[in-house]
């Protein structure tokens, strides 16, 4: 499957605080290459998450989340959120420009080719992954600059 080129997105969600009286919630992010459009009417997308991953666990509880379609100049963002054994997500977002989605409250990366806010409609277990099918609630094209970031043969690449 490494011979199949894929677009690269950053999936984000806001994890509310466990204790409403305690400190605020936390932003969580994950790089994904298994993301696709499923339907135009209604607008549905799908993301594949490793079963038991932090994002899989969070999206099982948090029905609204966001996606930023990364541009070729955002390779550093993809790499940062794909690291294994990484530091807290709070620190990973520190120097990345973003706005909060109006519906999800999740970070939407500045300079992304497109951003979506989604609501989970269905979760399907498929081997060691969970397929999350979601309705697109909002969609925007914040930047038309540059081409998409692609993933092919184990590396991030540019088209052309």
Q: So where are the chain's domains?
A: 7-16+23-153
Model confidence at 5, pLDDT cuts 50, 70, 90, reads confident
Compute the mean pLDDT over every residue in the chain, rounded to the nearest whole number: 92
Model confidence at 6, pLDDT cuts 50, 70, 90, reads very high
- Terminal C-alpha separation, the chain: 21
CATH of domain 7-16+23-153: 2.30.110.10
Instruction: Write down the pLDDT at residue 22.
Output: 66
Residue 37 has pLDDT above 70, yes or no: yes
**pTM, to two decimals:** 0.93
CA distance 21 to 29: 24
């Amino acid at each position: 499957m490494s011979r199949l080129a894929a677009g690269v997105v950053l999936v984000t969600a806001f994890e509310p605080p466990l204790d409403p009286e305690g400190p605020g919630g936390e932003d969580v992010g994950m790089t994904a290459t298994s993301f696709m459009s499923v339907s135009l009417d209604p607008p549905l997308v799908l993301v594949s998450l490793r079963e038991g991953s932090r994002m899989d666990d969070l999206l099982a509880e948090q029905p609204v989340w966001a996606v930023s379609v990364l541009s070729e100049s955002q390779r550093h963002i993809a790499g940062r959120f794909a690291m294994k054994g990484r530091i807290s997500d709070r620190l990973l977002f520190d120097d990345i420009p973003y706005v909060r989605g109006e519906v999800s409250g999740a970070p939407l990366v500045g300079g992304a080719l497109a951003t979506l806010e989604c609501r989970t409609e269905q979760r399907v277990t498929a081997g060691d992954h969970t397929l999350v099918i979601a309705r697109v609630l909002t969609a925007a094209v914040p930047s038309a600059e540059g081409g998409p970031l692609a993933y092919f043969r184990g590396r991030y690449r540019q088209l052309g």
